[in-house]
Structure formats: structure tokens, C-alpha cells
Structure 1
Amino acid sequence: MGFDFPLRKIIHVDMDAFYASVEQYDNPELKGKPVAVGGGSKRGVVSAASYEARKFGVRSAMSGYIAQRNCPELIFVKPRFDRYKEVSQQVRKVFFEYTDLVEPLSLDEAYLDVTENKKGNPSATLIAKEIRQKILDKTGLTASAGISINKFIAKVASDYNKPNGQKTVNPEEVITFLEDLDIRKFYGVGKVTAEKMYKLGIFTGNDLKTKSLDFLDSNFGKSGRYYFNVVRGIHLSDVKPHRIPKSVGAERTFSENLSSEVFMLEKLEHIANELERRLKKSKIAGKTITLKIKYSDFTLQTRSKTLPYFITEKALIFDSAKELLYQQQLQNSVRLLGISLANLNTEKKKAPTPKDNEPLLVQLKFDF
């Protein structure tokens, strides 16, 4: 089976347990031991966990208390973001040796389009292998990679042989790969969505493929078309060298839970001030403001409103957040507040996508 759109050679590179690996590399005494970055205090949250810690169920975003309970021998290390950024820049220099089409997703992962590359190497698989070796030589850290015809499949594939491995999904293997894929491994399908899919009898890509676009639209809204497309190998998003953020935000976790809106106003004002600073630094404005509330039981709630005009000023951000805070009664005491601005003045209209029901054409030979 073939595809009726141009194929590309996309690599997704993902550093292995990046923050924790940097700490283990810089401090050899931590090598081979369960390490958690962050999360050391009573109210702390784990930012990253080494593979040794993950064996005990320690994960990022887990409370330090639960992490310590799961792994009594866990070693907590304070995050050093300046150091992580420094190593990340070394890694990106390696990427640019091969292509200028590099789209960073965070400090520790990026997409690369190597369809045409600076080395003139026709094999994306060999390029990925070279890149991983150069990263190891320059930083002492390992990376994993996924290689395929689009960003979606490359990202899914990069998880397959972690740590320190890679997986290539060749064009002729794409459909079978997606049909056999556990729905939980589909990028964009979280825990809640996976449970909903299970109830609808969708457990694999093949199950998903049997559902019509109308069925997926009615059950998953705007995401329905995305699921319909990706399971057929259709994901036309380009690698964007200058990735434009869809939202800008700031948040704070408190040392003690807050139980009254009155006590939260001062905190919200500080958050609004930080958000204004970030917006002005990036020369960005937005219309949709969202208040994020994380309760003491870790349940998360968001409240949003869209203004008829773009804003960046602290006063307008704070007033809108205050209105959202008082919009409805709190469900519990609060451990975290955040404010974000979306619907930014940087967004562009999306280009139309091909019709979803067009037939697949004969596959051209494509050396991976």
C-alpha cells in the first residue's frame, strides 16, 4: 500500500532521562542509583527520574512524598536548569550539522527533517545512528531515536528501544505498524482518552481504523479527525525550525495549601506579573486567558474566558484571573495556581489538508 502525499524522512531524537542523566554524569557517585530531580521537600514534585528510579514506579509530576514511599533509597537532587540548557545547546549543535530543519519540543527532544540533509546521506536510519553517537561523544549522555515518514510515527517509534536505542518504521511498514499499535502508545491519546476508547471497543490501531470519521467526530470532537488521519499514516505537519508557542503561562506551587480565594489574590497578582514579563520579553499578546487550579488531592481544574482584544498587561491579566477565580466555588484547598494566555497574535490559519477519503496510491521506492 502507498500514500498519496510526498513522503519525508523524519527523525525524532529524545534524550534518555535527560535531567537525571545529566546529574548522574556530573556526579559519578549517583551512577546506577535511583535519582529524582526535584521533589525533595514535603511539597515537592519530581521533575525527572533516572531509569533506576523508574523501576520503582517513580515518574515525573509525582509528588516527592509518594516517590520516596515507592523508593525509600531515592536520592533527590535540586534541578540545575542552566546546566540542562547548556547541554541541550550542545546537542542541538549536533542536529544542525545535518539539517537546518530542527524543531525543538523541549530541552531534551526535537524533530529533524533529513529528507535533504547537509551530509548528502540518503539513509535517515544511519543519520540517526551518527547523531546519537556524536551526542554520546560530546556530552557523555545517551539518546534514543525514531525514524519514519512523519512526525507522529517518528515520535511513537522513539519510545520503542529506549534507552540508548532507535527504531525505523519504513514506508512499507507504516500501515501494519499503526494497525498493531496499542492505542495507549498513540501520541495524543492520554489516560482518560484511552479509557474512553476501551469502552468503545478500541484497543489497537486496527480497531481505531474501523471507525468512521463521523463516529470519531461525534465521540472525540476536534480530535476525531486527527485520530482518523494518523492511523492511516496521514500527518502532514512540517518540521518547524522556529516553533511558535500556542500559549504562554506561569504557575506557582505553594508551601501550604490555600483554602480561601482571598488568600489567593496576592499569589495571582505575582503570577500575573511574571506572565506579563514573559509576554513582553517574547513580544506576544493573547485573547484567551485560562486559570489553572490544582487542589490538595491533585485534581486539576481549568477555567477560561476569551476577550475581544489582545492583552499583555498585568492589570488586565490579573482582573481576568480574579474573575475566573470567583466564577465558581472552590472544590477543596489549593496547592497550585497558574495563569496562561492562548489565542495568541502569533497564530496563523492552518493550510487545508487533503480529503480524508482519497484512495491510497502506489508506494514509490524510498530508501530509509
Structure 2
Amino acid sequence: MSLLFSPITVRDTEVRNRLWVSPMCQYSAVDGVPQEWHRTHLPSFAVGGAGVVMAEATAVNPEGRISPDDAGLWNQAQVAAWRPIVAAIRAHGAVAGVQLAHAGRKASTWSPLTGRRGSVPLDEGGWPTVSASPLAYRGLAAPTALDATGIDALVADFAAAAERAVEAGFELLEIHAAHGYLLHGFLSPLTNERDDAYGGSLENRARLLLRIVDTVREAAPGIPLLVRFSGSDFADGGWDAAQTAVVAGWAADRGADLFDVSGGGLVAHQQIAVGPGYQVPLAAQVRREADVPVGAVGLITSAVQAEQILVDGSADVVLAGREWLRDPHFGLRAATELGADIDYWPAQYLRARPA
């Protein structure tokens, strides 16, 4: 019996397998509204056998977008556009999830699809950015530090976006606290120089994230709730897996269900040794030290590799990104390679199912 193709229940939602689609920015929205590309792109993974299809980093307010072309959930037009996409994912047997995000000091940047780099000038549609402290990411405009009023508004924006996500039909939510974006900026001592209740100790640096976990859980009480962490800054003196494990435990006590452990993205001087499964040890450490369910990511490209991660006890689920882009039917292929007898091959594709 393949572990990868065994079901898992997260809160009260049963997911048909443990091979999930990571959130991947598409830079193809208009005013935060998903477009035809999203209607084609995301349901294709459900057809291809994914357990969860996670929509890209979706901003909780306009200022939280990485680029002007990012998706959002701050108004009803966006809810209406997400609804048929979510319905299509569900119709093909996968659980539809969305990553709620704010890009912090890495917001208001040019989409990579434009060929331009750096911050978008204010006179070309950019906007001022915010972070824990007024420290710029290399090559980007300096942010301002969020004050108490801004923090309270942000918490409310996450709650409202969670409500809209549920209204759109999403069955799983993820809070983005990784990759150098706003919540990660509060967590890491490299980017948080505050001397108030949100800076200094680990408890203080985690305070904003935990407030958001509380408010999202209250806004979506029955919905599986994930948190995506960078398990390490890969930089001296920064955030690491031990701190991640502690905060994951606190978040679990407040109602978070599973932790999606990635890495890096906070500082330009990070030093990462990239290779197959290079971030899996971070997930394994968080799982072991916090005794919480985790998802593993990071150059996971084959069925055998994904299966072994679960067999080894390093993670409870596997999230892949680029392999799904290369092959939107990665799930069906992986099941065949592992000899898993799944019953969700589309009937229209059965003639192509390997004997």
C-alpha cells in the first residue's frame, strides 16, 4: 500500500492522497481578479490526481500583493471569479485550498513576466510597502514599520479574506509566513528590530502570526488551517527550524492543523545548498520537535522520492510545485509508478492508463 496515495484527514476534511500542489504565483490576475489562465491552470491538477490544489499567494489587501498582477481576496469581484475555479477543482475530486498572504517589504515589485526587476515606481502603479522594521530588501524600496493601527488592520484583513475564501468555496486555508514576506519579516530577528510587543523575544516576534491564526480560525471554524513557514533563513543569526518548531506548537494549540515547511527568501545573502529534497530535513525537524503534522517541499520530482519522504517519517504530506507544472498529471503518473490502485483516473483517460 502506497503511503503517498493513502487518504489523510485534516480537521474534518478527508483528502484522497498526500501528493499536493504547492501554491505557485502566476502573475496573471487583473486588479486581484483571477483570469482565464487560472480557470485552466488550477483545475488541471485536480484532473491529474492531486490531493489538494493550493491556489497561489493571494493577497488579503491590495498592498499585500507581490506584484500588480497578483491574485487577491479583498473584494466580492474576486470572490465571484474564484468561485467557478474552486468548483472545478472540487468537481474533479481534489480539495481546493488558497494561501492567504501579504508580501510585506517584498510587495510592489515587477512581475517576472514583464522582464523588469525591482520595485514598481509609485508613478507606474506601485505603492509604499510595510514590514516589521524599516529595513529594505536588497534592491527594493525601503518599507515603513507597521504601527499598532496598521497591525490591527492587517489582522482584520486576514479574517475578512478568510471569510471571502470560504464564501468562494475554498475548503482549506493556508497562512503565508514564509519566503521573506510580511509575517516572516516579523518572525525573524534579521528583519525585526522592534522594541514593542511585536519585537525582541520569540514570543513577541510570533505575536502577529498567532493573532492571525486566532482570527482566521474564528472566521473559518471548520476549515483545515495550514501555516507555511520558512524553516530556516539560511543566514547566520536568523530564523531556524528550532524556532519554527516552537511557534508551530503554539499555532497548533490555537487551531492550526498542519505546517507547510519551506525555507529561505528573507535576505539576499542567504546561503542555500540546493539539491533534491533539500528542505525536507527542516520539515522533519519541525515534525519531530513540535509533534505536529507537516508538509515537505523542495525539489521533490518523483513518485519514489515522495513516497520515501513519508516512509521515513519526515512528513505527513508532500507538496510539489514545478513538477506539477512540467506534468499536470503528476498524480496519475506517480500512482502508476508506485503501483497504487486509485479510482480517480478520469474515465476519458482510461484508454491511456498503463496496464
Common topology (TM > 0.5): no
TM value normalised by structure 1: 0.26
Report the structure, 1 or 2, having the larger strand content.
1
